[in-house]
Amino acid sequence: MVFFVVLIILVILVSFHCQYYHSCLHHHH
């Protein structure tokens, strides 16, 4: 199941991006 692995990696990358750049947290600005 390559699609499932890619999906997990994508979620992890998005989560890391949100924590690092605070893009998702500061969406209501």
> What is the SS3 assignment for 1-29?
CHHHHHHHHHHHHHHHHHHHHCCCCCCCC
Whole-angstrom distance, CA of residue 1 vs CA of residue 7 = 10
pTM: 0.51
Domain boundaries, the chain: 1-28
pLDDT number for residue 3: 94
Cα(27)–Cα(6) distance, rounded to whole angstroms? Answer: 26
What per-residue confidence (pLDDT) applies to 1? 84
pLDDT at 27: 58
pLDDT, tens only, 1-29:
899 999 999 999 888 866 666 655 565 55
**pLDDT confidence of residue 4:** 96
Instruction: Give the model's pLDDT for residue 8.
Output: 96
**How far is 15 from 25, CA to CA, in rounded Å?**
11
